[in-house]
Amino acid sequence: DAGVTQSPTHLIKTRGQQVTLRCSPKSGHDTVSWYQQALGQGPQFIFQYYEEEERQRGNFPDRFSGHQFPNYSSELNVNALLLGDSALYLCASSLLQGASTDTQYFGPGTRLTVL
Amino acid sequence: GNSVTQMEGPVTLSEEAFLTINCTYTATGYPSLFWYVQYPGEGLQLLLKATKADDKGSNKGFEATYRKETTSFHLEKGSVQVSDSAVYFCALSDRGSSYKLIFGSGTRLLVRP
Percent of chain A with pLDDT over 90: 83
pLDDT at A96 over 60: yes
The predicted structure's pLDDT at residue A98: 59
Q: Which residues of B touch A103 (CB under 8 A)?
A: 32, 34, 46, 49
Query: Which residue of B44, B47, B49 to mutate against A (max A Cβ within 10 Å)?
Result: B44
Residue B41 confidence (pLDDT): 83
Q: Which whole-number Å values give the CA distances from A42 to A101, B61, B88, B101, in the listed order?
A: 22, 24, 10, 11
Q: In terms of pLDDT, which residue wins out, B73 or A94?
A: B73
Separation in Å, CA of A110 to nearest CA in chain B: 9
* pLDDT value, residue B92: 93
Instruction: Examine the pLDDT at A100 and tell me if it is beyond 60.
Output: no
Give the pLDDT of chain B (113 residues) as one tens digit per residue.
889 999 888 999 999 999 999 999 999 878 999 999 999 888 899 999 999 999 999 999 999 999 999 999 999 999 999 999 999 999 998 777 667 899 999 999 999 99
Question: What is the model's pLDDT at position A99?
Answer: 58
Question: Phi, psi (5° rounding) for residue B109?
Answer: -110, 130
Residues of A in contact with B42 (CB under 8 A): 108-109
CA A17 to chain B, closest CA, distance in angstroms equals 25
What is the reported pLDDT for B28? 83
pLDDT of A101? 59
Contact B44 A41 (CB under 8 A): no
Rounded Cα distance, A14 and A68, in Å: 26
pLDDT in tens, A22-71: 999 999 899 999 999 999 899 999 999 998 999 889 999 999 999 999 99
Asked whether the beta carbons of residue A45 and residue B102 sit closer than 8 angstroms, the reply is: yes
A95: confidence class by pLDDT, cuts 50, 70, 90: confident
Q: CA-CA distance, B69 to B91, in Å (whole number)?
A: 18
For residues A115 and A12, is the Cβ–Cβ distance under 8 A? Answer: yes
